[in-house]
Copies of this chain bind each other. A is one copy, B any other.
Amino acid sequence: MLSHLCLPIGMPATDLGKLDDLVKDRVRVEKGRPLFTLGSELDAVYAVRFGSLRTQLEQSEGDLQITGFHLPGEIVGMDSIGQHRHVSSAIAMEDSEVCVIRIDDIDRVGRLLPSLQSQIRRLMSQEISRSQQMLLTLGSMRSEQRVAGFLLNLSQRLSTLGYSSTEFILRMSREEIGNYLGLTLETVSRLLSRFAREGIIHIHLREVRILDMAALQQVFGQEC
């Protein structure tokens, strides 16, 4: 595993060494505590080393939208670069550790290592693409497609990290899933129960086992 290097997945090995320069500090965040909050000052982005976080936008008066769940190897905070203050909050869903990547250091190291700049661009571009994929989900998919897509996406990312793609623990509550997917917690619960009744998955609280990946993909991809 590369995770000891605190690096985003997919960075070419040739550049790995120099990147250690970027990571000076690590920070631990306890379950439920924020890594940063809306409006706080910003000078860094963070690579998740272990654990998991959620990021969320906060609108006036309790209106809240979860914009992502972040697993090890993923970068948090790229929506606020170039602002003076964070435009979102990040909260640990379990005890976690992140590597601090200071913006100033990106510039400094980037001068010596031009390919770093393009790597950063690539990661930011992926984040744009990821959000836009979510727009498609929220804008034009039905509830069952959203939940199926959510499970498939988690499965795929966990498998990239070396975990099982068919058996895992949800780190987030039904309410958090619902908020992320633009649904209520009841709808999420009902759909998970239905998938289980149909033999597509097995679910007990936060333990998930995918029994029929193809069926799940079919639910996700189905027209109408």
Chain B residues near A59 (CB-CB < 8 A): 136
Whether A124 contacts B135 in the complex (CB less than 8 A), given A61-B223, A82-B118, A117-B107, comes out as no
Measured CB to CB, the nearest residue on chain B to A59 is B136
- Shortest C-beta distance, A19 to chain B (Å), equals 16
The digit string for A44-68, where 1 denotes a CB below 8 A from any CB of B, is 0000000000000101111111010
Least CB distance, A221 to chain B, in whole angstroms: 7
Interface residues of A in 116-167 (CB under 8 A from B): 117-129, 131-136, 138-140
In this complex, the interface size class of chain A, counting residues with CB under 8 Å from chain B, is 35 or more
A61–B224 Cα distance when bound, in Å, is 10
In the complex where A59-B136, A136-B59, A138-B135 touch, is A128 in contact with B78 (Cβ < 8 A)?
yes
Q: A82-B125, A125-B83 are in contact. Are A223 and B63 (CB under 8 A)?
A: yes
Q: How many monomers of this chain does the complex have?
A: 2
Is there contact, CB below 8 Å, between A135 and B128? no
Q: Is A34 an interface residue (CB 8 A)?
A: no
Whether A190 is near chain B, meaning CB under 8 Å from some CB there, is no
> Using Cβ atoms and an 8 Å threshold, which residues of chain B touch A138?
135, 138-139, 182
Those of A153-199 within 8 Å (CB) of chain B: 179-182
A172 to chain B, nearest CB (A): 15
Q: Which residues of A contact B (CB under 8 A)?
A: 57, 59-65, 67, 78-83, 87-88, 103, 106-107, 110-111, 114, 117-129, 131-136, 138-140, 179-182, 221, 223
A-B contact pairs, 5 of them (CB 8 A): A60-B221, A60-B223, A63-B140, A67-B132, A140-B179
The 7 closest A-B pairs by CB, nearest first: A82-B122, A131-B131, A139-B182, A138-B138, A65-B136, A81-B125, A124-B124
